[in-house]
Structure 1
C-alpha cells in the first residue's frame, strides 16, 4: 500500500477514534415532578384515611354490612325429646307401642333482608345507632334420626305398623322440640345473642369508617325502647376493641 493511501486511511479513522458519546440533556423539571407526584400520593392517602368523606353516612354503612348476609343465625338449641306412639291393627288384635328418643336441633335466626332505613336511627349528638330487628325466626327442627333410640312393645309389629309408629314419633318430636325452643328462657338467650352479634356487625364497619366510641342499641319488633346505659354499650365497646386489634 502506498504512503498516500495510508495517510488517507488514517485521516478517515481519526474522527471515529476521537468521537465521544453524546449525552442527552435530562429535563431539569423531572426530579421536581417526581417529588410533587409523591407528595400528591401521600396527600391522597391521608385524605382517604382521615378526610371528611371518610366519615360517610353511618346508616348507609350499616345497611351495606347487612347486605353481606341475608339471614343471620344467632343461636342454636339442641333437644332430645322422648316421645311415644301407639298402633292398633286387625280390629285391636295387634297392639304395638314405640318409645323414641330423637335428638333435635333448632336454629334461631334474624332475617336481615328486611332491614332498611326505617329500622335504623342515628343520633349524631350522642353517637348512638338505634337498630330495630325483625322478630326472631325458628327453623324447622332438624332431627338426627341416625342417633335416635327406639324401644318397641308388642307381640307382633308389622312393617307397616313400624313405619307408622316411626312417622308419628317424628311428628311428635318436631312439635315438642319447637315447643321447647319457644320457652321464654331460650328465647331470651337467643335475643341476647342476636343483640351481641348485630352490635358487633355494626360497630366493626362503623369503626373502620371512622366512627369510634359509638353505642349500638338493638331492639326487636314489639319491644319497648331500651333505656340509656343498657348493656348494649359495653358490648359495642368490646366489639370495637376486637376490630382494632
Structure 2
C-alpha cells in the first residue's frame, strides 16, 4: 500500500494541482467577463443587458428606512498639478435597517407568568448598504480649466464613494440606530403578539430588548420561571 502511494502520489498531486489551477482560471475569466467585457449586438453596438444576477433567501426583517438628500464633492488633480477640477453633486439616498430573526430560538424568549410578559432578546438592528439614486441627481456641477474624460470619470467615481461613506456614517450614528431600534421593537412585538393572541394569550405584553440594552443591564429585570416554549406546550395540552 505504501509503495502504491509513493508510486502514484506524485501524478495524483500533479493532477489535483492542474484541476485547481484550471478552476481558478475559469473563475477569474468569469469575473473578468462579468465586469469588463462589453455585451454587443451583431452590428457591434453596445447594449443594455443583465450580465449576472443572483437571488437568495433571507430571514432578515426590514424594520425601518432612512431617506434623505446628500451632497458630495470631489477633486481631481492632473498634469503635474496644472489641471485641477472639482465636482459637486446632490442626490437622494436611502438606507434600510434590518433585524436578523433567523437565529432567534426559544433560548432568546423569556416568560414572566406573574406579569404575563414575553421578553424577546432580539439580535441588534443593522443598517444595510446605502442606496444612492444617482439617476435622480438634482445637481451636477463640474468646474475646472480643462476637464478630461478620465478626470470626469474619476470625479464621478469619487463623489459616489464619498456619498456612500457619508450616508453610511449617518445611518450608523447613535441617534439613527436608536430610532431604528424603536421601530424594530414595535415590529418584532407585533409579529410575536399575533400568534400569542391566536393561542389565547391576547393580554400578553411583549417586551423586546436589544444587545446594547442587555449589555449595560439597563432593561427592567423580570422574575423568569418558565421558558416560553413550555408555557405554550402546556397551553396546548389544556385545550
Provide Cα deviations, 1:139-167, integer angstroms capped at 9, x if missing partner.
00000000122110012111111110010
Q: Where does residue 88 of structure 2 map in the other structure? A: 99
1:201 counterpart = 2:194: no
Aligned length: 162
In the TM superposition, what is the alpha-carbon distance from 1:225 to its structure 2 partner? 5.0
Q: Where does residue 157 of structure 1 map in the other structure? A: 147
Separation in structure 2 between the aligned mates of residue 212 and residue 160 of structure 1, nearest angstrom: 64
Q: Where does residue 145 of structure 1 map in the other structure? A: 134
* Paired residues of 1:79 and 1:177 also in contact (CA < 8 A): no
* Paired residues of 1:72 and 1:109 also in contact (CA < 8 A): yes
Q: Where does residue 188 of structure 1 map in the other structure? A: 178
Separation in structure 2 between the aligned mates of residue 194 and residue 155 of structure 1, nearest angstrom: 51
Provide Cα deviations, 1:1-56, integer angstroms capped at 9, x if missing partner.
xxxxxxxxxxxxxxxxxxxxxxxxxxxxxxxxxxxxxxxxxxxxxxxxxxxxxxxx
Separation in structure 1 between the aligned mates of residue 149 and residue 67 of structure 2, nearest angstrom: 30
User: What is the TM-score when the length of structure 1 is the normalising length?
Assistant: 0.62
Separation in structure 1 between the aligned mates of residue 179 and residue 146 of structure 2, nearest angstrom: 46
Provide Cα deviations, 1:188-230, integer angstroms capped at 9, x if missing partner.
21111111111111111110111121111100013135338xx
In the TM superposition, what is the alpha-carbon distance from 1:176 to its structure 2 partner? 0.5
Separation in structure 1 between the aligned mates of residue 174 and residue 151 of structure 2, nearest angstrom: 37
* Paired residues of 1:102 and 1:173 also in contact (CA < 8 A): no
Separation in structure 2 between the aligned mates of residue 141 and residue 116 of structure 1, nearest angstrom: 30
In the TM superposition, what is the alpha-carbon distance from 1:99 to its structure 2 partner? 0.7
In the TM superposition, what is the alpha-carbon distance from 1:184 to its structure 2 partner? 2.3
* Paired residues of 1:133 and 1:221 also in contact (CA < 8 A): yes
SS in 1 for 2:212: coil
Provide Cα deviations, 1:71-114, integer angstroms capped at 9, x if missing partner.
11111001222111111111122111001112211001100012
1:226 counterpart = 2:219: yes
Find runs of 4+ consecutive structure 1 residues off by over 4 angstroms.
none
Q: Where does residue 121 of structure 1 map in the other structure? A: 110
Separation in structure 2 between the aligned mates of residue 95 and residue 124 of structure 1, nearest angstrom: 70
SS in 2 for 1:226: coil
Mean Cα displacement is larger for which, 219-228 or 148-157? 219-228
Higher-helix-fraction structure: 1
Separation in structure 2 between the aligned mates of residue 222 and residue 196 of structure 1, nearest angstrom: 17
User: What is the TM-score when the length of structure 2 is the normalising length?
Assistant: 0.64
Match of 2:74 among 82, 85, 90: 85
The structure whose Rg is larger is 1
> Structure 1: 5+ residue runs without aligned partners?
1-68, 229-245
